[in-house]
Amino acid sequence: MDKTSPNMSIEFRGQVVVATLADEKILDETQLQALQGSFMPLIEQNPGIQLVVDFSNVKFLTSSVLGLLIRISKKVYETEGTLRLCSISRKILEIFKITRLDRIFEIYPDVDEAMVGLKKSQ
């Protein structure tokens, strides 16, 4: 892993940035602010970023996290980048379906599948 923040690890795989969320539960404002403080500079410093967010460790999250994901998505697309989510638990995926965010985000079963087609596009 190339970099670590308290709430996630960041790995550069060629042109793709894989951000693995570290916390099992993302419930409070402090965690949310830390994640935003990690993601936004990463996106700003890497225009056209190809970002995969790995949820494999996450079991619970608040609706505020969904709002953060929407802000991250907007920022990524403003820089003409790509955002993909992966390894989302069934429970959390159900929340994405109920809120219809599964239609907005590209969601994949795992990191490897999320990376398919990304490396060559930069």
Strands (E), 55-97: 60-61, 82-86
pLDDT band at 122 (very low <50, low <70, confident <90, very high): very low
Residue with more model confidence, 6 or 66: 66
- What pLDDT, on a 0 to 100 scale, did the predictor assign at position 120? 52
Which DSSP state fits 103? Answer: G
User: Greater confidence, 15 or 91?
Assistant: 91
- What domains appear along the chain, each with residue ranges and CATH number? 3-117 (3.30.750.24)
Q: Which of 27, 15, 97 is nearest to 68 (CA)?
A: 27
* pLDDT value of residue 5: 53
pLDDT score recorded for residue 47: 92
Residue-wise pLDDT for 2-25, tens only, equals: 444 568 899 999 889 999 999 888
* Residues written for the chain: 122
